[in-house]
A and B are shown apart, each in its own frame.
Chain A
Amino acid sequence: MSAPVTDRVHPLLSKKVLTWAGRGLLLLGIVVIVLFPLSPSRSAQNTVILALVLAIGATGLNIITGYAGYLALSQGAFLGIGAYVAAIMSRTLTVVDDRGITVPAISPFVWIPLAGIVAAIIASLLALVTYRTRGPSFVIITIAFLFLVQFIAVQWVPVTNGTAGITMPLPDWPREFGRWPFHLVLVAVLALALLTSWAIRRSKFGTGLIAIREDEGKAGTVGINAPVYKILAFGASALFTGMAGAVYGYYVTFVDPINMFSILVSVQMVLAVILGGRGTLFGPVLGAFIIEPANALANGAFGGGNSRLVLFGALLILLVILLPKGIIPSVAGLIERLRTRGTVGLSGARLSVVERPLPPAVDRPAPSSKPLLEVRGLYRSFGGNKAVNDCSFTVPEGSITALIGPNGSGKTTVFNLISGSMTAERGEILLDGERIDTLAPWSRAHRGIGRTFQITRLFKEMTVLENVVAPLRDFSVKQLGAGAVSGSEARRAEELLDFVGMAAYRDARAGSLSYGQQKLVELAQVLMLDPKLILLDEPAGGINPTLIERMGGLIRELNQQGTTFLLVEHNMPFVLGLCDPIRVLARGSVIAEGNPDEIQRNPAVLDAYLGDDFLLTGESKTGSVPAVDWTKK
């Protein structure tokens, strides 16, 4: 939020001081952590090494839980997989040294990258097979995955040595190096993990993940290929965790199924992410460096075992109930509140809708007879309810076509079938003569279909500008690495925001806007796709008359520039003044088609929808909203 900052802000709370304070703390943290093995306490050294392992796992977990919003209780499995990879390789590739003892051919450290890659591949496979699984099911499946991996480690005796586990070789470096090699390697892996996390957050890839977190269904309709995003995110989250696992196994010198795949490890990682702050860069690290010492305390001072369980259990409950956002976001929120106390934010400002003159209602070019969208014999049922039942119609290129009909006649379901949010049981959908009914929502978006929703579905935690730049016109791996808000895109997004009259709100959080404002932003968001066809679900529903007029003007202007519209709407004056042709839907199929005059006189339409007392009189003066007589005959 860019609330205007007045000179009343306390000098200690100015942006500059806070930035430098943050950097100072960060630098201090880095120095202390990197040089920690200088500490005389062996047990403290041990705690810091374990905290580093935990921090790497938590930083990885943050990519899927913090950014993409998928809670996974399987993160510990990747630590174990990494440890097993290094252990198995060290056990397999051995030489007999000059004293006749079998030793690993090379240092187990060599296997760190391999451990990371194996973990990443397995994580990607997990994401691939679970790409449709969300919410509670996803949490359950990650638990099942963890236990299945443990089961395999127990059963696959020839490779894993079963429950007996694998003993790792002792470090092969001089004694005086002590734990420095373990420590420094883990610091390096953590640095890599943080760098990756930072790069992801700043890229298009990161914006896509956050869009998935906010609303995965909606993300698909603006061109975000969620399965690919999730597969990559899972791979990235497991990569460094697997690498840390290889070091961890070597450090503890013993790799066995019970300890390596204990669900408590996963729980500690989840705790670290939530305690520090989901979705923040350093939160998981901070969380890990709180959790691990607490763990050491429970083990040391209170005898471990049961007290550790009670500690983590109670911590989990209290944290979720009392501090669900985590430390970093809570502190940041507190500082922001102190900073902006007494100042006025934007959200109270009045929206002056007509900032630009609306185009006059000139005769638009007659729609060509060529259909842009063609729907043939579509079926879709929910249980016994045939929501869409042999529905066929066309949307001529260059037209503003309306789809009207009584509630429950299947209009929104037709929209969902066209945009790909649902798949039809039968029937064909053609865009520009090409079958699209088997394509995923994002592919349809890439081919030029944009849609809005009856109840707006913006990505609420993102700013208005981020919302508008989120849509993707195509998919390429290269593009994932691009900056989240690049120059040309930002300019285009600002133009579009200007077009819908929402430019003043570009940095406001989307969730803080009013419903009508969200409708306008959602339109701008869809326009970012440069769609050939825009599906509008009740563009005039639930907003005030001035805004309705504005919406009608925008639609007309875009149409003059060549965009085709299909809209669902109950506001009959709005439809009759704007749309031609009109398709009338009842009980899932089209019962009438024609221009507004024909529709108003069609007895079937009057019977099914408008009612025989429907009367529309008066010619439109402005061309936007005709006068209406709603009185009965």
Chain B
Amino acid sequence: MNLLIQTLISGALIGAVYALMASGLTLIFGVMRVINLAHGAFAILAAFLTWTLWSQFGIDPIVAIPIVTLVMFGIGWLVYVGSVRYVRGAHVSMSVLVAFGIALVLEGIMGFVWGNTAHVVSAPYQSESIVLGPFYIREDALIAAGVAVLVLLALQLVLHRTWKGRAIRAASVNESGALLVGVSVNQVAAFAFAIGIGTLGAAGAMISVIYPFVPGSHYQWIARLLAIVVLGGLGSLSGAVIGALVIGMGELLATAYIGAQWPIAVPFLVIFIVLLVRPQGIRGTRLREDAVA
């Protein structure tokens, strides 16, 4: 029983970080119907940036979060303007290839710059734990979860309390409608893409402490993130949060009860089962396909 509760606590903490990462993926899909297969690669890029800030300038990952977030926001904007812009609204089989191309380019560049050896940032709180009765709570995971919750709340505020946020939501519900009422969907999409990558930067800074990473780690991350958004329902933000918690706990439960190899397979099994049984996910709605726009 204690093992179960311990696993669920750890799973929920890591799930919060997953939620922050997946929120950008689902936001980007919602606004421009692009499955950003490069999302994992951007996360690893943020982790490498954090590593450089830490190893070159001695900046603690927590302090690095605002810097990395801003830099990733800028990179996201540039990548959108340079490539994704051209396939927004194109058939998904086209946009998904561009996104995959971006992932490959990023993987290659990271390999050139940082090499293909495993990196990890060591912070003072890395191997510390808070003891709560019979349970241990990893400090780094706790801090990461706290950061994730704060950034997610900030994202909610932006989406629901600002004009730009409303424009993003309008564009994701009905693009032509948004265009008609004066929303420049292209600008909004650029902003949404940059926000998605920027918030991912915050999460990437945190995972650099928790997981060792190489450029090729992005496959594992994109698989996990896809499983989360598929489970939650493509395009749904609340679904992404629920999906992230389920996957976070599920992975640790699989490790604890089945075997250390199984977390790798969890995301793929989840994707398979969800898409076959309930294609719209937990929070997605099935739209009328016959209705005309």
Query: How far apart are the CA atoms of A144 and B223 in the complex, in Å?
Result: 7
Q: Which residues of the other chain, A, contact B141 by a CB distance below 8 angstroms?
A: none
Q: Is A6 an interface residue (CB 8 A)?
A: no
B101, A316: Cβ atoms under 8 Å? yes
A306 contacts B108, C-beta separation under 8 Å = yes
A-B pair count, CB < 8 Å, reads 136
Bound state CA distance, A141 and B111, in angstroms?
A: 28
For residue A591, CB closer than 8 A to chain B, the reply is: no
The complex places the Cα of A411 from the Cα of B93 at a distance, in Å, of 33
Known contacts A217-B289, A421-B290: A274-B261 contact under CB 8 Å? no
Known: A141-B272, A145-B272, A313-B105. A321 touches B223 (CB 8 A): no
Please tell me which stretch of B10-18, B52-60, B128-136, B263-271 contacts chain A, meaning at least 4 of its Cβ atoms lie within 8 angstroms of it.
B263-271
In the complex, chain B residues whose CB is within 8 Å of the CB of A313: 100-108
Q: CA of A375 to CA of B226 in the docked complex: distance in angstroms?
A: 42
Provide the bound-state CA to CA distance between A69 and B83, in Å. 23
Question: Are B268 and A317 in touch, CB under 8 angstroms?
Answer: no
A152 nearest in chain B by CB position: B265
Among A132-140, A466-474, A522-530, the stretch in contact with B: A132-140
Residues of chain B within 8 A (CB-CB) of A132 are 276, 279
Name which residue of chain A comes closest to B105, CB basis: A313
CA distance A135 to B106 in the complex (A): 25
Task: Contacts A139-B96, A316-B98 given; indicate if A144 touches B288 (C-beta within 8 A).
Answer: no
Q: Quick one: which of B83, B100, B230, B269 contacts A267, CB cutoff 8 A?
A: B100
Instruction: Output the residue of B92, B93, B96, B215 with the most chain A CB within 10 A.
Output: B93
Q: Which of B29, B92, B268 contacts A148 (CB 8 A)?
A: B268
Complex CA gap A388/B116 in Å reads: 59
Interface size on B, residues (CB 8 A): 49
**Given A135-B92, A143-B223, A383–B101 Cβ distance below 8 Å?**
no
Assess whether B101 is in contact with A320, with CB atoms less than 8 Å apart: yes
Decide: A136 near B101, CB < 8 A? Known: A130-B276, A141-B271, A147-B268.
Answer: no
Bound form: Cα–Cα A309–B271 in Å: 26
In this assembly, does A103 line the interface, its C-beta being within 8 Å of a C-beta of chain B? no
What are the residues of chain A within 8 A of B29 when measuring CB–CB?
136
A180 in the interface, Cβ–Cβ < 8 Å?
A: no
Q: How far is the CB of B87 from chain A (nearest CB, A)?
A: 6
CB distance from B186 to the nearest CB of A (A): 15
B214-248 CB contact bits vs A (8 Å, 1 = yes)? 01000100010011001000100000000000000
**Pick the contact of B105 from A145, A264, A309, A416 — CB < 8 Å?**
A309
Provide the bound-state CA to CA distance between A140 and B90, in Å. Answer: 17
Q: Which of B101, B230, B285, B292 contacts A317 (CB 8 A)?
A: B101
Nearest chain-B residue to A148 (Cβ)? B268
Decide if B3 is an interface residue (CB 8 Å cutoff). Answer: no
The reply to whether the CB of A454 lies closer than 8 angstroms to some CB of chain B is yes
Nearest Cβ distance between residue A315 and chain B, in whole angstroms? 7
Q: Which residue of A lies closest to B83 (CB)?
A: A317
> Which of chain B's residues has its CB closest to A316's CB?
B101
Cβ distance A332 to chain B, nearest Cβ, rounded Å: 20
Nearest to B95 among chain A residues (CB) is: A320
Residue from B276, B285, B292 with most neighbouring chain A CB atoms (10 Å): B276
Interface centre among A143, A308, A312, A422 (most CB of B within 10 A): A143
As a 0/1 sequence over residues 274 to 293 of chain B, the CB contacts with chain A under 8 angstroms (1 = contact) are: 01100100000100111010
**Proximity bits, B76-115, A CB within 8 Å = 1, else 0:** 0000000100110010111011101111111111011000
Closest chain-B Cβ to A416's Cβ sits at a distance in Å of 6
Sample (5) of A-B pairs whose CB atoms are under 8 Å apart: A71-B96, A136-B96, A140-B230, A151-B268, A317-B83
Query: 8 closest pairs, A vs B, by CB?
Result: A313-B104, A316-B101, A309-B108, A71-B93, A313-B105, A306-B111, A310-B108, A317-B101
Q: A136-B234, A148-B268 are in contact. List 14 more A-B contacts (CB 8 A).
A: A71-B96, A136-B35, A137-B275, A139-B93, A144-B226, A151-B265, A305-B116, A306-B111, A310-B105, A312-B101, A313-B107, A317-B83, A320-B94, A320-B97
Residues of B participating in the A interface, judged by any CB pair closer than 8 Å? 29, 33, 35, 83, 86-87, 90, 92-94, 96-98, 100-109, 111-112, 116, 215, 219, 223, 226-227, 230, 234, 261, 264-265, 267-269, 271-272, 275-276, 279, 285, 288-290, 292
